[in-house]
Copies of this chain bind each other. A is one copy, B any other.
Amino acid sequence: MSRRTRALLGGVAVTSGAAGVLHYADAPALVAFVVAAFALAGLAWLVSFTTEQVGGHFGPAVTGLLQSTLGNLPEFFVVVFALSAGEVVVAQFSIIGSIFANALLVLGFVIVVGARESSDGIMRFSPRLPQDTATLLFLSGFIIVLIGVSAGTHDPASDDIVTISAIASVLVLIVYGVWVYGYLKTEAAAAGVPRAPATMPLRTSIALLALGGVGAAFVSEWFVDSLRPTIDELGISAQFAGLVIVAIAGNAVEHVVGVVLAAKGQADLAISVVKNSVAQIAAFLAPALVLVSLLFDHHLTFDLAPVYVAALALTILSIWQVTGDGEATYFEGAALIATYVILAVFTLYE
């Protein structure tokens, strides 16, 4: 374990501990919230890092499989606790916020950095993964748009949104499973999935992964707990909180690794980190949470406010347009970032 890794692990442990103390000491909500947000971002990194370490002992297919399922564990806990606290809007916006933050903000930065790195200003990568992600996003987008328009126009089917969402979730999960199976078989064998040689013993990795998971569960609860008073104190909208703050803390920070890979000129790996994450949230985490939420009083459905349905549809098209041809320029990265900022500004006025 490198000194840097040790320092990071220590930092995560300390911040998580501080978040717990602040929570149980009934500290001012804003302080508790900020510390919990940092702890959550750190735990998201820890889960992502240890997943890769465990996978490193078994090869790329296992790494990919672990990443495809455990990669959004902290996000998962945040949404579960938000739902159990009755914060349905925050829960929904954490999920679609993660899609926006990764697909627009993180991908935009990856492209800006990657294009600067390239000698002719064009970042090049295999178009296969962006096309696959587009297909998965179109599928999830189809059900979200269908339900959004149905609810918005008081279509008869809008009375059965919970049932339709659940059935659609099962179908999306099946397609995601088919994709992961095919992707791991072909791409992982080649070079599409980031592979880190394990630098820690398997036992340590598993222990740290377990610790990260348990930690994420606790910190998520504290984070969600302090979210509502913080929103009220700052006078921001729940949409902004979910779309910007929760999404960046719970999800985007860990993808700084994509930007780092882009800066090293590893365009394919950089794109795959971000793209896989977007595909996973849209086609695995979201439908899985819809099904899990059936156990709760407040159900998560694909029913979103029309503006966000439209924003999501256009985001799916934008990232397909920018990356579908296997080339991206500095300016295209800037356009994605600007799209995210426009959306974030918009939520400020909700």
Contacts and interface: CB of A to CB of B under 8 A. Distances in A.
B321 A321 contact: no
22 contacts: A120-B186, A132-B329, A134-B321, A135-B332, A138-B317, A138-B335, A139-B318, A139-B339, A142-B339, A146-B314, A149-B306, A149-B310, A150-B346, A156-B350, A157-B347, A164-B345, A168-B342, A175-B331, A178-B334, A179-B331, A179-B334, A183-B331
Interface in A304-350: 305-307, 309-311, 313-315, 317-318, 320-322, 324-325, 329-332, 334-335, 338-339, 341-343, 345-347, 349-350
Interface residues of A, number: 70
Nearest to A160: B349
Contact of A146 (B153, B167, B310): B310
Contact of A314 (B120, B138, B150): B138
A339 B150 CA distance: 16
Nearest to A310: B149
Interface in A252-270: none
Nearest to A181: B331
Contacts of A346: 146, 150, 157, 164
B305 A174 contact: no
A349 B174 contact: no
Interface in A150-184: 150, 152-153, 155-157, 159-160, 163-164, 167-168, 171-172, 174-175, 178-179, 182-183
Nearest to A179: B331
A329 B138 contact: no
B317 A317 contact: yes
Interface of A: 120-121, 127, 131-132, 134-136, 138-139, 141-143, 145-146, 149-150, 152-153, 155-157, 159-160, 163-164, 167-168, 171-172, 174-175, 178-179, 182-183, 186, 237, 305-307, 309-311, 313-315, 317-318, 320-322, 324-325, 329-332, 334-335, 338-339, 341-343, 345-347, 349-350
A135 to B, nearest CB: 5
Contact of A142 (B143, B182, B318): B318
Contact of A159 (B157, B237, B318, B349): B349
Given A142-B311, A142-B339, 13 more contacts: A127-B325, A132-B331, A135-B322, A138-B317, A142-B315, A146-B307, A146-B311, A149-B309, A152-B306, A155-B350, A172-B338, A174-B334, A175-B334
